[in-house]
Amino acid sequence: MSLLTPRVKKESLVLGQLHLSDNKCTAIIQYTKSEYVEISLLIITSQQNPRVMTLTPFLIFGHGKAIHRMGLNGKNHRRLVPGVGSSILLDFHFKEQRVYWVDRHTGKLYSYDKHISGLAVDWIWNSVYWTSGEKGEVKRIDINGKKQRTLLRHLTQPNSISVDPSNRFLFWLSGGMSPSIQRSDVTGQMKITLIKITEQLRALSIDRVDKRLFWVQFGPQGESAIASCDYNGNALHTMNLPLQSHSVGISVFLEHIYYTDSESRVIKQVNKYTGGEPHVVNIKQMGKPPVDIKIVHPLNQPTADPLSPFPGYSVCQCSEGFVLSMEGTYCKDVNECAHWNHGCSLGCENIPGSYFCTCPKGYALLPDRKTCQEIIPCERNMTKCGNGCLSTGNGAVCVCPEGSILQEDGQTCTGCSSADRGGCSQLCNPVTPVSWECGCLPGYQLHQDGKHCIATGPPSYLLVANLVDVRRINPDGTVDQILAEEPRGIIVALDYDPVQNNVYFASTSQKTIERVDIKGGPRNILISDGLDSPEGLAVDWVHRKMYWTDKRRSTVDCSTLDGLHRETIVRKGLEKPRGIAVHPLAKKLFWTDIGTHPVVECSSLEGRDRAVIARTNLVSPTGLTIDFTEDRVFWCDQRKGTIETAALDGSDRRVLSKNQVGQPFDLALFEDRLWISDQERHQLTSVHKRTGKTLQWIQGSMVQPASIVVVHPLAKPGADMCLHLKGGCSQVCESKMGFAHCSCFSHYILSADGKTCLTVDASNGTAGDVSCVLFYTVLQLTAPIFVLDIDECNLGIYNCDKNEECQNTAGKYYCKCLAGYYSDGQTCQGDRFLLLTYPGPYWHILISCPATYETYCLYHGVCFYFPELDSYACNCVSGYMGERCQFSDLEWLELQRAEKEKKRNVVITACMVVLVSLLSITACVTYCYG
């Protein structure tokens, strides 16, 4: 038994501690009215009762005046320690198997600082951090009660502090008039504001696996949500979630978020990626509301190693392929190829953290990935091999192209250069000839499986032409809204415009094309003359046109989105055109023809440059759709029950699905799912867009589903959301990823609605009404009065910051941030990226290399990545040079000297040849004429 009695100043934090394994309170907390507070910490160990560290995750939370624990399944609910206070903050130290708490209201028993608003335990450096909301301070103390210090002062209502000791970051919420999320290092230095939010912020938590921050926010109208961002304040994601009380605690574990709801007295769980309906964790109703919450598990404190033979000590360890430096402070790459123990039969190439074997042309690696063997022609039964075969003891196996590897069947390849693209949903980036990494297009986030891309923003839904109506359907099959009804009509074609949020549909019975708002409302008839059987409709949301097929008139027509300037663009050779789709970015139009010679065709948007996509093995091709992420076209054959796909030029044609859908009529594609309307089963079906597998059905009361489209800001890329009414923005509108992002000119600030701008009163920093002052020069001539705009930018009578440039407009000017700077509503701040200029007309963004390239630069060089050039560069330390800092100064000089010597020798040789030639010519002239 040992007794520690540290002495700290009376304003410092005095903590209660609980031993998690034996459930006994091992801290005796006392304080007096003298200048110092005495903390007695009694640590009890026993040979008969050794400390047992469980790996089963469980919840700890405040409940009444006690701390309780509960399994993630709601079972094993019991009290850990009583008498801790009615409103506590808590955290834990997994390696020490202790929980820490403080009563933030009374200050009695556990703290003499009565205004504690946040508590966090650093399990690596064995410290406790807390925020004082009223004093505006962040403080720190060792867990043994020593070395108390104030890290930050003059903050605005700091609360909900969290720590990531692995990355040496502190995060906390800031209250007041401008709520924000702030970050500093663990010493209180390098303080920055990550995000400014108009909503009230509550309960901050860290996802240390994905390196993201999660928090709860409440809007002025009572709306609530759980939002998240990365450690730099980027990649913001918001999930709307109804919460009944502002008193909430939150904790993240693996793919779930756990939070307390004090109003309903429950603990709930929700998926951190997809949101959805929350799941109640506790089985029985709680008698008192739960407060604060933490998940106890080593994954939430990743360096806490319960199996370490040296508890209490921190030792740096390196991943495989790296070795600890002599100083023991960093890891450096091991060049396996230089050690000659790599096992490669011929070539070897080193990469950071690993290596791979190579073969000369005409040879390929055997499945052991080390031995090279000559490529031979394949036998007849190896029909899937397109790059030759290798002879092995188990028979012939296929050769895969560089960037792919052979799967277990010995015939199918997987990788960036193969048909499956390495299993990547969107982007496949080769790392080595036998490995790759998946990536996503802007607006999408990589799923935790490292392969699939998930669209950010609101959830998607479907628009379906249901013969007698047009309806919105959620992916789970629930009908959200009926937009238009036609009891005696036949509606089979529809599409929508994401810019003005209008749905366009065609009725073959009424022989009309109509328009309705995507939220419902009155219908507008756009075209009612000269239609016979409009069965296909497509909206060009970029060039603002609509196209439709008329099966009986055998034409493809187009007009503006208001039904004006109508013209027939394709007529010749058409029989019964049906489905139609437009690719505005590629400026191509695609349609199907179900006549006696069925075909899938394409042309330009004007109907010129017609080309055949597919003509053979077709019976009745009806609907088709475009995959804009991969530039592929998909179509279905209603009579054959097949679904096929090809590149936009008709190459690489593949059968995706056979006999899985009874009578497919139309298709829609988003993310990895291909949606199909099945007119035989009167339902919607979805399959994976590459494999045709993972068949899913949407059960619903549909009469006859026909055309379908997916509605999401990313479903129709390239839309200019500022085209219509400036996207609702009062000053500056920028279209990004299907959204209109509003901003303001310099000296204006964006209001809470995110659309309008307010002037900033320099005297008191408050926002006032917008007042626009236009400057004109009026010239009185003999003719009527003319108004001439003054170019303030040319005349130099503008008032822009040094980080801004002047932009002249009619009657006024505005200040625009230079490249690399962003507006905070008043001034232009430096970007989070470092900007470098190179000779030439381009600016290049320079960011840090990914973790896999940390050792790309040798001899302690710093690696940087240029996204625009898709290349890496090194910043070498003094004494080293070269593309990867591979040469010392002396080696570099020797190479330079050798190169100069080579050039000098070439020049001397050329001069000697010229001199000899001149002498020869002179001798010939002298001999002939002398």
Query: 246-283 pLDDT, tens per residue?
Result: 778 999 998 889 998 888 889 999 988 878 888 899 88
Strand order in the sheet with 149-152: 116-122, 127-132, 137-142, 149-152
Quickly tell me which residue has 């963004």 as its tokens.
845
Cβ(202)–Cβ(175) below 8 Å: no
The rounded distance, in Å, linking the Cα atoms of 182 and 197 is 11
Does the structure show a pLDDT above 80 at 192?
A: yes
SS3 content of the chain, % helix, strand, coil (to 5): 5, 45, 50
| DSSP code for 915 | H
pLDDT value for 502: 95
Phi, psi of 479 (to 5 degrees): -85, 125
Cβ(388)–Cβ(406) below 8 Å: no
Structure confidence by residue, pLDDT tens digits, 677-723: 998 888 899 999 988 887 788 766 788 899 999 999 999 998 888 88
Identify the helix (H) or strand (E) that includes residue 921. helix 889-929
The rounded distance, in Å, linking the Cα atoms of 528 and 510 is 8
Judged on CB neighbours under 10 Å (0-12, 13-18, 19+), 720 is middle
The rounded distance, in Å, linking the Cα atoms of 510 and 506 is 9
Phi, psi of 811 (to 5 degrees): 80, 0
Structure confidence by residue, pLDDT tens digits, 149-177: 999 999 999 999 999 998 899 999 998 88
Q: Which among 162, 194, 202, 198 has a CA at the least distance from the CA of 179?
A: 198
Mapped onto helix, strand or coil, the DSSP state of residue 312 is coil
Query: Across residues 642-664, what is the average pLDDT?
Result: 91
Cβ(237)–Cβ(456) below 8 Å: yes
The rounded distance, in Å, linking the Cα atoms of 573 and 417 is 38
How many helices (H) does the chain have, and how many strands (E)? 2, 82
pLDDT value for 851: 61
Cβ atoms within 10 Å of 329's Cβ, excluding its own: 8
pLDDT value for 830: 56
| DSSP code for 395 | E
| Start-end of H helices in 646-771 | none
Among the listed ranges 96-105, 575-584, 680-689, 714-723, which one has the minimum average pLDDT value?
96-105
Cβ(170)–Cβ(159) below 8 Å: no
Judged on CB neighbours under 10 Å (0-12, 13-18, 19+), 866 is middle
Identify the helix (H) or strand (E) that includes residue 164. strand 158-164
pLDDT value for 382: 66
Quickly tell me which residue has 């709801």 as its tokens.
261
pLDDT value for 221: 81
Mapped onto helix, strand or coil, the DSSP state of residue 311 is coil
The whole-chain average pLDDT of the chain stands at 79
User: What length is written for the chain?
Assistant: 930
Does the structure show a pLDDT above 70 at 1?
A: no
Among the listed ranges 196-205, 337-346, 368-377, 920-929, which one has the minimum average pLDDT value?
337-346
| Interstrand relation of 871-875 and 880-881 (parallel, antiparallel or unpaired) | unpaired
Q: Exposed e or buried b for every residue in 755-764, given b needs 16+ CB within 10 A? A: bbbbbbeeee
Q: What is the pTM of this model?
A: 0.49
Mapped onto helix, strand or coil, the DSSP state of residue 301 is coil
Does the structure show a pLDDT above 70 at 78?
A: yes
